[in-house]
């Protein structure tokens, strides 16, 4: 066991056994203290940031060490059967740590940020009630904001307006909706992919019906866990380091059977236009299976699209308040030790009023 520097009242150590790195916390202070802030508020520890930065590894290590449970913050991980392209941690590799908000709906179901905020808040409170530490992890910025800062209920959907916007998408391309949204709500356009018709239509619908953008509405909302101290660590890497990790992960996804997973889902009756198939990785892989491009071109395209997505995620999270940034991957020893130090410092300090 190689000792790491002290992390305040919580000291970290490295377990050198294969598959068990960074899994122990060495301190007599490991009681209920890390579950609440100095002024008595329950704590939610969150690990966020762009794709392929090692968030899941760090969160799992922390949860195992601190007696925590994982609450996913990923808009694709909620769908059953979509495992490889969403990089879900296999059950066999979760080290006995409970995971929540993963595999909760069928691929044909509609799952919204509003529903996520309700169910994630319920999961967080249930974890705390079990005297365990909730550890939020993921890169879906809208879900993170919905949970930690609130999500306005919004106007009722207008079928006629939605149909009109969908006709615009068919005539001029979905990207035209994205350009339209960008002119009026740059923040929302920055987080919504240019071909995500459903979310683009909703963002435009809200603006057209209320005269206010989604971004403006979000600013007036209140979190369902407003009584919590949310301690958020955000990971980011250099462009070169991130690209290397993305390319490696895409290769791993194909080696793990991404294409077989898709064909199995089709054989089970999941329609090709189901929501998860339109997301990153799956959309490009489906196009390959339909003969649009060969496998190597598809891998390269997925890497490029992941890079673009990572830039959008970084832009989003940079605008979130009170994040503690670490410029290193989550699977490095020092990232773990630094996170423990940040947790202890934040736990003992008053929270900013703009959370």
Interatomic CA distance for residues 91 and 288, integer angstroms: 29
What is residue 167's predicted lDDT score, i.e. its pLDDT? 95
Element counts in the chain: helices (H) and strands (E): 13, 9
In the chain, which stretches have pLDDT less than 50? Answer: 1-31, 353-355
What is residue 216's predicted lDDT score, i.e. its pLDDT? 86
What is residue 152's predicted lDDT score, i.e. its pLDDT? 74
DSSP calls for 75-135:
TTTTBTT--TTTTPPPGGGSTT--EESSS-B-TTS---HHHHHHHHHHHHHHHHHTT-EEE
Model confidence over 178-227: pLDDT tens digits? 999 999 999 899 889 898 898 899 999 999 999 999 888 877 788 999 99
What is residue 350's predicted lDDT score, i.e. its pLDDT? 62
Domains and CATH numbers, the chain: 2-151+224-242+322-348 (3.40.50.300), 159-218 (1.10.20.140)
Question: Which helix (H) or strand (E) segment is 190 a member of?
Answer: helix 186-191
Residue 80: alpha-carbon gap to chain centroid = 16
Model confidence over 278-327: pLDDT tens digits? 999 999 999 999 999 999 999 999 999 999 999 999 999 999 999 999 99
264: which 2 tokens? 């199995």
Interatomic CA distance for residues 170 and 204, integer angstroms: 16
pTM of the model: 0.78
Interatomic CA distance for residues 293 and 318, integer angstroms: 35
């Amino acid at each position: 066991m190689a000792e790491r520097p002290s992390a305040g009242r919580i000291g970290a150590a490295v377990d050198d056994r294969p598959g068990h790195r960074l899994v122990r916390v060495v301190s007599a202070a490991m009681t209920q203290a890390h579950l609440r802030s100095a002024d008595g508020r329950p704590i939610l520890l969150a690990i966020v940031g762009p794709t392929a930065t090692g968030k899941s590894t760090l969160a799992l290590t922390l949860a195992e060490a601190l007696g925590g449970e994982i609450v996913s913050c990923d808009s694709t991980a909620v769908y059953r059967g979509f495992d490889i392209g969403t990089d879900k941690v296999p059950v066999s590799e979760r080290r006995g740590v409970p995971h929540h908000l993963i595999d909760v709906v069928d691929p044909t179901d509609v799952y919204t940020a509003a529903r996520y905020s309700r169910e994630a808040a319920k999961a967080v409170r249930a974890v705390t009630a079990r005297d365990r530490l909730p550890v939020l992890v993921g890169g879906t910025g809208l879900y993170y904001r919905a949970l930690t800062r609130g999500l306005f209920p919004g106007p009722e959907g207008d079928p006629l307006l939605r149909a009109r916007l969908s006709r615009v998408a068919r005539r001029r391309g979905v990207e035209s909706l994205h350009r339209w949204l960008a002119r009026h709500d740059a923040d929302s356009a920055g987080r919504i992919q240019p071909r995500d018709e459903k979310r683009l239509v909703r963002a435009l619908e809200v603006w057209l019906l209320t005269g206010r953008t989604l971004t403006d509405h979000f600013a007036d909302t209140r979190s369902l866990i407003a009584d919590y101290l949310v301690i958020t660590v955000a990971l980011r890497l250099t462009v070169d380091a991130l690209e290397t990790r993305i390319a490696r992960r895409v290769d791993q996804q194909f080696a793990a059977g991404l294409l077989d997973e898709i064909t199995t889902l089709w054989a089970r009756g999941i329609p090709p236009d189901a929501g998860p198939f339109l997301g990153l990785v799956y959309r490009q892989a489906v196009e390959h299976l339909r003969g649009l491009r060969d496998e190597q071109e598809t891998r390269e395209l997925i890497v490029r699209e992941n890079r673009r997505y990572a830039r959008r995620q970084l832009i989003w999270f940079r605008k979130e308040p009170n994040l503690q940034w670490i410029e290193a991957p989550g699977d490095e020893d020092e990232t773990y030790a630094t996170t423990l130090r940040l947790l202890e410092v934040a736990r003992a300090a008053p929270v900013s009023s703009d959370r």
